[in-house]
A = this chain, B = another copy of it.
Amino acid sequence: MIINNSFCEAKGASLRNFNEDILMDSINGALALREHIEQIIDMIYDDDFDGIWFMGIGGTWASAMQAEVHVRGRSRLPIYCENAAEFLTTGNRKFTENSVAIISSVSGSTREILDLCDRIHEIGGKVFSFVDTPDSPLTKRDKSDYLIVYPKNEQLKFFMAADYLMYRNGEFDDYERFYENLENSLAEALAETEELTDPWAYRYAEKQAAFHEARPDMPHYFVGCGNQWGAVYSLGMCYWEEQFWIRCRTVQAGEFFHGMLEIIDRQTPVTLFMGEDEQRPLAERVADFLPRICENYAVIDTREFPLTGIRPEYRGRISHLVMRAVNNRIEAYMEMFLRHPMEIRRYYGRMKY
C-alpha cells in the first residue's frame, strides 16, 4: 500500500468493529458448507444441464461477475453471468429448461430476484439459491429448487460452487488440496490481514474523510480487474455511494487507458486494487502510470499481505477475499471519521419507487 509502505501504528487505530472469533467462525462455517454444495452441484452436473448462470442484481450481480471471470479462463463449461433486471426484460434465449441459475440474496426478498425465480420456472429451468435470511420468501419451495441458508460470505459460496463444477468437469485437479488449505488457513489469514491493515486503514479513512469534507462533489475513483472487478463495482456502489454518500466512479483497469485516464489530475482521489490473479498485469499498468499524473492515490496490493498458511499458488484465487478484508477495515473507520452510520439510507426503505 503505497500510501504508507509499512504497517506501522496509527494513533487511534483500534480494530474498530472487529471480532476475530465471529469473523473466523463465519468463514469456517461457510467453508463447512462444502459437502452440501457438492451434493447440490452433483445433482445439477449429473442432470445434463446446458448452462449454469450466476445471476444477481446490485451487489449480487457484482459477485456473479466475480464467479464468472474466475471460471472464464479455466473451464469450457457453459458457465455465464447475467443481470437479473436485464434477464427480466431482455431475457436470454440461451437459457432453457435445462439451464440452472445460481443466485444469492441477503434479505431473501429482493423484488427482482423473486421475479427472476418465477421467470426461470416459467422457462422450466432451476434455481440454486444461497440465502442469508431463514424463512424469507426466497427460501420457499416455489422459488428455490436447491437451497443453502447461511449468512454472509457470498463470494466464497459462489466460488465453492464454481470450483466444484470445474472439479467435476476435470478442470481442477487441485480441488481437494485447495479447499483443505482454505479450511486450515483462510479464516486466520483474513483475520491477520484485517489486523495488519488496521492502522493503515485508519489513516486512509482519515485522509479520505478530510478530502471529502473539502471537496464533497469530487468522486473517488476505484480501479480494479479480474476477480477484483466485481469487488470494486460493489465497493463503489453498495458501500461508498449507498452507505457513505460519497460519489464514486469505478473502472476496470483494462479500460482505464481508453478514455478515463484523461480526467485524472494531481488531486483526483484514486484507489487501485491489485490482486494476484491473471489480470494483475492490467492493474500493474495503471500502478506504473498513476504516480506520474496524480499524487492523491493509494494502491492496495494483496501481495503485501503474508496470508500465513496459504500456499503461494493459491493466493490469486483468494485476492478478492483479501481485498474484502482490507475494505472491512477501511469501512469501519470511514464510518467513524464521516460520522455517517452505514445503516442509514436517504431513499431505500424510506419511500416506494
Contacts and interface: CB of A to CB of B under 8 A. Distances in A.
Interface of A: 57-59, 61, 69, 72-76, 78, 83-86, 89-94, 112, 215, 217-219, 225-226, 237-238, 241-243, 245-249, 251-255, 257-263, 265, 277-282, 285, 288-289, 292-293, 345-348, 351, 353
Contacts of A92: 72-73
Leading 7 A-B pairs by shortest Cβ distance: A58-B258, A85-B254, A242-B259, A237-B259, A217-B217, A217-B218, A73-B90
A278 B226 CA distance: 30
26 contacts: A57-B255, A72-B86, A73-B92, A73-B93, A75-B93, A85-B225, A85-B252, A85-B255, A86-B254, A86-B279, A89-B226, A89-B280, A89-B281, A89-B282, A215-B217, A218-B247, A219-B219, A237-B251, A237-B260, A241-B260, A241-B263, A242-B259, A242-B260, A245-B263, A257-B353, A289-B353
B285 A258 contact: no
Contacts of A73: 90-93
A9 to B, nearest CB: 33
A310 to B, nearest CB: 21
Nearest to A90: B73
- How many copies the complex holds: the figure is 2
Given A249-B219, A293-B347, A72 B93 contact: yes
B353 A285 contact: yes
A241 B264 CA distance: 9
A80 to B, nearest CB: 8
Contact of A93 (B74, B252, B259, B260): B74
A345 B156 CA distance: 42
A217 B288 CA distance: 25
Contacts of A263: 241-242, 245-248
Contacts of A288: 353
Contacts of A89: 225-226, 254, 278-282
Contacts of A83: 252, 254-255
Contacts of A261: 346-348, 353
Contact of A241 (B259, B278, B279): B259
Contact of A346 (B61, B254, B262, B282): B262
Given A89-B225, A219-B219, 14 more contacts: A58-B255, A59-B258, A72-B86, A73-B93, A74-B93, A78-B94, A85-B253, A86-B279, A217-B219, A237-B255, A241-B259, A242-B259, A242-B263, A293-B347
A165 to B, nearest CB: 13
Contacts of A259: 58-59, 237-238, 241-242
Contacts of A253: 85
A268 B313 CA distance: 46
Nearest to A229: B86
